[in-house]
Amino acid sequence: MERQNINDLTVFLLVARERSFTKAAAKLGVSQSALSHTVRQLEERLGVRLLTRTTRSVSPTEAGERMLISIGPLFDEIGMAIDELNALRERPAGTIRLTAGDYQIQHYIWPKLRGFLHQYPDIRLELDVNYGLQDIVSDRYDAGVRFGEQIAKDMISVRIGPDVRFAVVAAQSYFASRDIPAHPKELTLHRCINLRLPTYGGLYAWEFEEDGREIKVRVDGQLVFNTIYNVLEAALDGFGFAYVPEDIARPYLETGRLNRFLEDYSPYWEGFHLYYPSRRQSSPAFSLLVNALRHSG
């Protein structure tokens, strides 16, 4: 098969898997029009339409789906074979894709990998900030980060941090003229800053514990964000109560910019874990990265 045909098939597979010319173009570092032209040429040579294009989405046709199922695994095997060859290099190399929330990346991943990447310059790392519960296999990630109890049984998990606790916080400017809540349910009487979780499309219900029983409180307020750092910033600006990891609130609690409430109702949760498929073949680069992230406490 000519090299051009192989390149065109690679482009088709990426667009079909991403369901988007925009996302595929961003990953390849080329223009959307160039990818569209490549796929159109492939379709003309094969004599069948492979993708259905609308203004909002891209999806494989029946022929495209058959090609995705038949040749996709073959290209994946080629990629894995090339990765295995990297094991013969004197210096570990390869690309590793991780998905995690911005909080996990900033507090548990980047501090450990900053020096690691300087030590192994041939290892490339892609970090995707995502609050959803990603299917790392179908989305083609090497690993993801979740709380320990959220890991599926067919996954290998490696703890990367200590137990985590959240804190109810607010600025003095908000609660100065308001009653202080004595119980989590009283938060429904206040303005609170919500966090939207993409996996279910709903707002996060604040989780507390009383006498061993779980309490979930659905709060309301003027603001909804999809990242925890925006929630914290809004609390600092006096827009109401926020429920955030205590370690990102701690600097502001120590300086008095924020005050903490309902601490006795905030439970500890099992810390964050790196997880990846049990059938994944660990390259030297991936094994080194896992060890670098492993929690030693």
**pLDDT digit string, tens, across residues 68-116:** 888 878 877 777 776 666 555 567 888 999 999 999 999 999 999 999 9
> What's the pLDDT at 1?
46
Return the pLDDT at 237: 97
At 198-221, the pLDDT tens digits run 766 689 999 999 999 999 999 999
Please give the CATH number for the structural domain made up of 3-86: 1.10.10.10
Q: Which residues pair with 223 in a beta bridge?
A: 193
Fold of 89-163+271-293: D-Maltodextrin-Binding Protein; domain 2 (3.40.190)
State the span(s) of the chain assigned CATH 3.40.190.10. Answer: 89-163+271-293
In angstroms, the CA 227 to CA 132 distance is: 11
Per-residue b/e over 42-73, b at no fewer than 16 CB within 10 Å?
Answer: bbeeeeebbbeeeeeebebeeebeebbeeeee
Place of tokens 């993409």: 198
Q: Is 253 exposed, middle or buried (0-12, 13-18, 19+ CB in 10 A)?
A: middle
- Which CATH architecture fits 164-269? 3-Layer(aba) Sandwich (3.40)
Question: What residue spans in the chain does CATH classification 1.10.10.10 cover?
Answer: 3-86
d(CA 72, CA 61): 15
| Both tokens assigned to 27 | 């990953």
Joined tokens for residue 19: 């369901």
How far apart are the C-alpha atoms of 167 and 289, rounded to whole Å?
A: 31
Residues of the chain with CATH 3.40.190.290: 164-269
| Spans in the chain with pLDDT lower than 50 | 1
Name which of 44, 51, 62 is nearest 12 in CA terms.
51
